[in-house]
Structure 1
Amino acid sequence: MRQENIRNIAIIAHVDHGKTTMVDQMLKATDAFRENQQVQERVLDSNDQERERGITILAKNISIEYHDVKINVIDTPGHADFGGEVERVLRMADGALLLVDAAEGPMPQTRFVLRHAIDAGLAIMIVVNKIDRDGARPEEVVNGSLDLMMDLGATDEQLEFSMEHVIFASAVNGFARLAPDDGNDDMYPLLDMIVDGLPAPEADPDGPLAMQCVTVDHSSYVGRIGIGRIYSGTIHDADKILVVKNDGSRAMSQVKQLFTFDYLGRKECSEVKAGDIAALVGVDSTDIGDVYTDPDNPVELEPIEIDPPTLSVIFEPSTSPLVGREGDIVGARQLKERLTTERENNVTMRIEELPDKTGIEVAGRGILHLSVLMEAMRREGFEFQVGRPRVLFKKDENGTLTEPVEQSVVECAGEYSGKVIEVFGNAGGTMTSMETGTAQTHLEFKIPTRGIMGLKNRILNVTHGDAIFYHTFLEYGPYVGELGVRQNGAMISMSTEKAVAYALGTLQERGALFVGPGDECYEGMLVGERSKPGDMVVNIARTKSLGNQRSSTADIAVQLTPPRSFTLEEALEYIMEDELVEVTPRSVRLRKRLLTETERRKWSVRNGKVNK
């Protein structure tokens, strides 16, 4: 039985192809806002980091109403590090809008999200976005999208549906068209095609209850909130339900509150019928994959497996000489409590305290995934330090050591392609595809996740900034052995003082600086990178010796190159095993794990290493 008054759709695309902006226009077209209401762009990107980075981090549910049909819309992340969100939320949908940039065409993450949509059996509508931008080639992009669907094993029915359901749009200008130049200037053709073309959910409201939790929200008032689709039956407020975990364990629970999605918010209700998406309060410690079903007539659903993390970092309380100057929260106990809370709220991360209690290991899907947490904590006033990200190896059924492997894509001018291939070769990558166009060369590689760290900067250097670089998790593959690490040594401060321009003027001849005049530095802090291998201890507070004779022209102003600054992701990729990133609300500093030169020499002797 199909619920004709409901449509459940997901919006999927490569990062920055316009998903959230498209949702904005759908909301405006269905009168979600008052006529005089001031609405910010990308209204669903409510998180500060989402707005600043210009990416969607968390999947979000909204609903709109059009021609008496409720359309549940799921806005999904586009970045590979948050791909686990996409896989799960597609279970709530019957169809998907595949947004593709009219100039760029299908990109690596397009392949990733499309594969999951095809595997889920969704009806896929192709939306060619940004048809007004320079270099747009909408017809070619449609053909490229269909070719990609064929490559990914789409069924004949899916291909036929996608060929018949194509929309050309410009989300930023608020129009959707059946043909690129038909002159329509509103979003109604897209909404009409969703209602008339995409399938209604097939469900039996009178059958036994079956609902599966695919997303977990958290409230400080009511605890965890399970969000999912009701596949059959009807759920009522105060119902007694059976909760079946992924491991097969069962427990009784009671519904305390029940919500459906209503435009940008949630509406509390007394019942929700099959086919709709609901948010449920009352199941203690609910997890992704939990099935809420009828105790007398339980229904079994396929369990949901959360993607295993591929990278981990160790969070430790800061031991910097400058600790407490910029942040309010510096203690080990507060750090542990904050990360314990994160473990409750964020089921996509694995957070465990180390056996020796010296730190907490946080494992996630990639460096961006981990740095989003660090950025949130520093904005809350935390000071802490983290080590170099470690790739999580595992053994297959034969006992062979395997490691995560990424698919990487680089688009650059043909003259730089040789250098890019060389960079990937040195990082353990293997080229799998090369397409030469008139302006750009398209290169694809398989490369261990370990090799990805620090790769972006090297690619931008060899292409003079003229490259587009993307990567996404592909599979676990055989361990490829030791990979090259940073070749250049570091300049390490020998004292805890403010940097002086005169000293920096002489040091910048030896390499690149990370600090400027007046910056607070401490012993063991990395203040620059040498142009040669081997670390070098430097005096950043040295001043010019004054003689007896002075004249107005005796001193010439020091010309300093602006210091290199690091984002959190860049700092995590840059450091070595014996280095740490110190994170404070105002600064990201690099330092040695052992601050004094004496300690570092002793460590080198104990471990049989030569301290250069």
Structure 2
Amino acid sequence: MHTLNLGILAHVDAGKTSLTERLLHTAGIIDEIGRVDDGNTQTDSLALERQRGITIKSAVVSFRLDDVTVNLIDTPGHPDFIAEVERVLSVLDGAVLVISAVEGVQAQTRVLMRTLQRLRIPALVFVNKTDRAGARYAQVLRDIEEKLTPHAVVMGPAVTGLGTREARSVAYTDGDPRLAGPLTELLTRHDDALLTAYVEGGGRLSPARLRGELRAQTRRARVHPVFFGSAVTGAGVTALTDGIKELLPAAGGDADGPVSGTVFKVERGRAGEKLAWVRMFSGTVRLRDRLTFGQGPGAVSEGKVTGIRVFSDGADAEAASAGPGRIAKLQGLGDIRIGDAVGDTRAAATRHHFAPPTLESVVVPAPPASRGALHFALAQLAEQDPLINLRQDDIRKEVSLSLYGEVQKEVIQATLADEFGIDVAFRGTTTICLEKPSGTGAAFEIIDKDDNPFLATVGLRVDPAPPGSGVSYGLEVELGSMPYSLMRAVEETVFETLAQGLYGWRVTDCTVTMTHSGYWPRQSHSHGVFDKSMSSTAGDFRHLTPLVLMAALRQAGTVVYEPMHRFRAELPADALGPLLPVLARLRAVPGSPSVDGTRCVLKGEIPAARVHELQQRLPGLTRGEGLLETAFDTHRPVTGTAPRRSRTDRNPLDRKEYLSHTVRRAGGGPE
């Protein structure tokens, strides 16, 4: 018996949750298949999921396929919830990518496949809905090869009865020349030894050799077997389950080795207790074990495991331990967060696979007196989804959320009402920009000189850094020139201050270097009582650093960058003329169109802020025949007037205002 952690991924409405229901029925876990439209599926357990008929939160259900225990993870398909998919990717052994035979390869399908390939996650492709009117076979295969992967191999002959309830799909038998030919060509492309065996064997490979090599290359994510069928009727599902058992790799790990796992989901139990969903890679966690967890050596916490639940035969049940390959809910680790590693904290999943949210909106409670309750509720939601990124504005008493789209906004609004009893409204959605230094700037302030009111000397230089490098910090002063606590105070404050640049956006792609340092040592009066007014504290450095850093940044100057999406529009050729001026007004940059008869494909870039408008305009411009795919691509400098974002701090760019709110209590001086 071995374990397989399997992800089901798809564009929204491709039938991913319906396939999950069919697999559970085939395995004998459920007697009756639920329907998404009826709100009675196993994995869509949230009331909001049942109401909307979409998956919002990932869910796990376990079942057996002969000697394989499958932990199946159903993930959201709507792009607004891509962060939920991202967290699942770090725990998968393999995946099934579901495509609709009617709609074919869609925008989210391409994003998911590119990510699976980049992470080398073995994946099968299941073309669903072959029983639906409008289902296609040859065109979908061409789409898979052209838009997803050239390394796809169809595991069965053409579907019979395509587009009807009688649609049927069976698997090729070993040795069938219709499979052996394409399979040989594909597999020998990736393996010189296999090509040599083919040549020396007189242009033939045994069915057993081909099957074994298909299994090996699928598990190495080099090839992607394709199955056709219908989750509703069950056609083709037996061939898919056989493929899951045979072609995807089992979870590994040493049960007696050091504990290592990854947290991919956090939720609250009925009593409010925190439950961490952990994929175990190595070792065994037992009740009452003390576990370390965190993201890196410098951020390690420890807690005692007070409860363990593991998934088995369609449900989760209490257990005394959880070993490698298992997915467990651990209780008792109070400070644990999504992305934390348990045991070996060096394995924390801190790297993002998808673009961060590019939209932002202010949440307004009704009535305003419920602000405290709103902040508590949003903190719990952020605990479950760190990428919504709460931005607290204490000056205006407002909270902003980072978002992927309007549907996510509606879901958060409904969740706050249903689960916390808080009615909220959202202000208009704005685009999240970035700032990058356009040059080099430096500034310093010397202790007890000029109008420096703090007992600290700080000098900082800001230099541009390569795109995508983030923020780095360095020293041009002796590390021992000040106590470590004071050095640390400056470094931490630098990163905090760069959350808001000259225009109010987060500053990135820069290097900040400390060029001056100085302090007054701890001093006492003659009777031995410590005198704070004569001694530098960490507070002096935390208060002075923003003034120095923003002065240096002002000298360097910054450029505001806005998020850009790449787009691909497929439309009637005669609609290209009316579309181009609209794209110009939306500040899109189209490439050269590709025209094939009466159809045209146009690719290019468009500001993220204008994507929604293009989606609304395209049907009218193309008689309803236009298809649009968009995905985040990069950040580009804003043309024209740079947008500003309101500051949430005491504004170190305005020295007088800043100092008026920053006073030193001891001795009446600045704090």
Structure 2 counterpart of 1:173, from 230, 233, 239: 233
Structure 1 counterpart of 2:427, from 364, 384, 387: 387
- Matched-pair contact (CA < 8 Å) for 1:423–1:459: no
- Equivalent position amino acid for 1:308 in 2: P
Task: Flag structure 1 segments of 5+ consecutive residues without an equivalent.
Answer: 177-186, 319-323, 485-576, 578-612
Q: Give 1:82's aligned residue.
A: 81
Distance 1:474 1:390 in 2: 18
TM-score, with length taken from structure 1: 0.68
- Matched-pair contact (CA < 8 Å) for 2:570–2:601: yes
- Matched-pair contact (CA < 8 Å) for 2:40–2:50: no
Q: Are residues 1:104 and 2:113 paired? A: no
Distance 2:346 2:369 in 1: 47
- Equivalent position amino acid for 1:16 in 2: D
Shift of 1:103: 3.5
Q: Give 1:284's aligned residue.
A: 334
Deviations 1:114-152 (A, max 9, x none): 121112211111211122334433344234324444589
CA change 1:135–1:432 in 2 (3 A) is farther
Deviations 1:424-444 (A, max 9, x none): 321122224745466754443
Distance 1:219 1:12 in 2: 26
Structure with greater helix share of residues: 2
Distance 2:6 2:416 in 1: 33
Shift of 1:208: 0.7
Shift of 1:353: 2.5
Q: Give 1:28's aligned residue.
A: 25
Task: Flag structure 2 segments of 5+ consecutive residues without an equivalent.
Answer: 153-185, 191-216, 437-508, 511-557, 646-671
CA change 1:421–1:78 in 2 (3 A) is farther
Deviations 1:73-121 (A, max 9, x none): 1112222222222222111111111112224332221111112111221
Structure 1 counterpart of 2:560, from 401, 423, 437: 401
Distance 1:118 1:368 in 2: 28
CA change 1:292–1:340 in 2 (3 A) is closer
Shift of 1:263: 4.5
Distance 2:67 2:250 in 1: 13
- Equivalent position amino acid for 2:240 in 1: L
Distance 1:115 1:345 in 2: 26
Any residues of structure 2 matched to 1:362-381 within 5 Å, and which? 362-378=401-417
Q: Are residues 1:132 and 2:291 paired? A: no
Q: Which moved more, 1:23-32 or 1:83-92?
A: 83-92
Larger Rg: 2
Distance 1:463 1:358 in 2: 45
- Matched-pair contact (CA < 8 Å) for 1:27–1:263: no
Any residues of structure 2 matched to 1:387-466 within 5 Å, and which? 387-396=427-436, 397=509, 400-432=559-591, 434-436=593-595, 441-466=600-625
SS of structure 1 residue aligned to 2:255: coil
- Equivalent position amino acid for 2:87 in 1: R
- Matched-pair contact (CA < 8 Å) for 2:21–2:33: no
- Matched-pair contact (CA < 8 Å) for 2:33–2:41: no
Shift of 1:258: 1.0
CA change 1:145–1:407 in 2 (3 A) is same
- Equivalent position amino acid for 2:614 in 1: L
Shift of 1:247: 7.0
Q: Give 2:361's aligned residue.
A: 313
Q: Give 2:165's aligned residue.
A: none
SS of structure 1 residue aligned to 2:267: strand
Deviations 1:342-366 (A, max 9, x none): 3334323112331214321112223
Shift of 1:60: 1.7
Any residues of structure 2 matched to 1:226-245 within 5 Å, and which? 226-245=276-295
SS of structure 1 residue aligned to 2:253: coil
Shift of 1:283: 0.9
- Equivalent position amino acid for 1:90 in 2: L
Q: Are residues 1:225 and 2:275 paired? A: yes
Q: Which moved more, 1:112-121 or 1:336-345?
A: 336-345
Any residues of structure 2 matched to 1:292-331 within 5 Å, and which? 292-293=342-343, 298=344, 300-305=346-351, 308-318=356-366, 331=370
Distance 2:573 2:144 in 1: 24
Distance 1:109 1:412 in 2: 19
Shift of 1:330: 6.8
Distance 2:41 2:612 in 1: 30
- Matched-pair contact (CA < 8 Å) for 2:256–2:284: yes
CA change 1:359–1:263 in 2 (3 A) is farther
Q: Give 2:61's aligned residue.
A: 62
